[in-house]
Amino acid sequence: MNLKQLAHMLALSQTTVSRALNGYPEVNEETRRRVMDAAKRHGYRPNPSARRLATGKSGMIGYVLPTGAAVDIDPHFVEFLSGLGDYARSHELDLVLSPADADDQETTYRRIVANRQVDAVYISSPKPQDSRVALVSTLGIPFLVHGRSEGFDFDYPYLDIDNEGAFHEAARLLVQLGHRRLALINGDDRETFAIHRQRGVRRALAASGLTLGERHVCSVVMTEENGYRATRRLLEASDAPTAIACSSLIMALGVVRAVRDLDLTIPGDVSLIAHDDVFPWLKPENFSVPLSTTRSSIRLAGARVAERLAARISGLEEGARGEVWPVDLVVRGSVAGAPA
């Protein structure tokens, strides 16, 4: 059942039927009702390929997925996707993932824009002066950055959490508890979120005349194993920290294992605060010692990203609005006063 058939059976022109269906004003309300009704009754659904050819709109949002044998997709992605899907579902938006060589995403961005495959894209895990952000903002397609870039002479729309504030609060708490040597086990510090977190920790320390030692900050891919290694290295050194801030729950697993391997205890010998993106399958309160966290649901962020993208597509949102979400500090058993 296509438009032509529907129009014919209603004894109307395609024009009118199309306009009635798409809510244009120049059609009689009663006619519109008739059309809507018939469309529903016959299960008419406009062919998206055709609509797309005519309008250039696809009803899909895009994401360029960096892939490669050596590239691992962040497990957070799944949670983000849950949220995004949740919103998208109720708005009949689809998400198209365009896999790209991690070292050459530009080609793919250009392709999906030139081809008008999607109406909008989002970018995640940006670095400072991220080339994707620069590229996409010149390409003239609606977009949103999940996270933040830095160092541009232009603004862009983004949704980020207050990473600096979160780690500032976490570090401040640890300092208040008497800790003088803090360590930060961070994610890849080429990414903005990691930079912000480090900045937050430094600022909190500086407020008490302390500093974050060169050897007390690690920047690694966020795996359990890297959490373990970093912790071993930190705690086996002569100036071992008494408190650790850690950028992910998964790394925190490794931290806990390392502490145990060294016959130390949390929080007796070392306090620990980690960032929690809220996974359904790994909860900080279930760690052997309940873990203090800075908490922010990445799933909610996914839903919000979808919502704002939809708004941008339909022109309801414009300009370079940045949105920063506060982060909760949830104190549990893994922090205590500094050992004597």
Name which of residues 20 to 39 contact DNA (CB under 7 A). 21-22, 26-29, 31
Name the burial class of residue 238, with classes exposed (0-12), middle (13-18) and buried (19+) by CB atoms within 10 angstroms of its CB: exposed
Span interacting with a second copy, options 18-26, 42-50, 233-241, 290-298, rule CB under 8 A: 42-50
Residues contacting 212, CB < 8 A, separation 6+: 182, 183, 184, 198, 201, 202, 205
Nearer to a second copy, 33 or 89 (CB): 89
Minimum CB separation of residue 78 from a second copy in Å reads 5
Q: Does 238 bind a second copy (CB under 8 A)?
A: no
Q: Does 316 bind DNA (CB under 7 A)?
A: no
Name the burial class of residue 299, with classes exposed (0-12), middle (13-18) and buried (19+) by CB atoms within 10 angstroms of its CB: buried
Q: Which among 273, 284, 279, 285 has a CA at the least distance from the CA of 200?
A: 273
> What is the rounded distance in angstroms from the CA atom of residue 250 to the CA atom of residue 34?
57
Q: Does 49 bind a second copy (CB under 8 A)?
A: yes
Q: Does 332 bind a second copy (CB under 8 A)?
A: no
Q: Does 111 bind a second copy (CB under 8 A)?
A: yes
Q: Does 47 bind a second copy (CB under 8 A)?
A: yes
Q: Does 214 bind DNA (CB under 7 A)?
A: no
Q: Does 145 bind a second copy (CB under 8 A)?
A: no
Binding-site string for a second copy from residue 284 to residue 323, where x marks contact by CB under 8 A and - marks none: --x-x-----------------------------------
The answer to whether 64 touches 111, Cβ cutoff 8 Å, is no
Q: Does 12 bind DNA (CB under 7 A)?
A: yes
Give the interface size with a second copy as a residue count (CB under 8 A). Answer: 61
Q: Does 54 bind DNA (CB under 7 A)?
A: yes
Q: Which among 43, 35, 46, 33 has a CA at the least distance from the CA of 11?
A: 35
> What is the rounded distance in angstroms from the CA atom of residue 181 to the CA atom of residue 244?
9
Nearer to a second copy, 115 or 208 (CB): 115
> What is the rounded distance in angstroms from the CA atom of residue 94 to the CA atom of residue 85?
8
Q: How far is CA 1 from CA 18, 40, 105, 179, 325, in A?
A: 14, 11, 40, 71, 47
Minimum CB separation of residue 3 from DNA in Å reads 3
Q: Which two tokens stand for residue 12?
A: 């109307």
Q: Which residue has the tokens 């696809």?
A: 58
The residues of the shown chain that bind DNA, judged by CB under 7 A, are: 2-4, 11-16, 18-19, 21-22, 26-29, 31, 44-47, 50-51, 53-55
The residues of the shown chain that bind a second copy, judged by CB under 8 A, are: 45, 47-50, 52-53, 56, 58, 60, 65, 67-69, 71-75, 77-79, 81-82, 84-86, 88-89, 93-101, 111, 114-117, 222-225, 228, 250, 253-254, 257, 260-261, 279-283, 286, 288
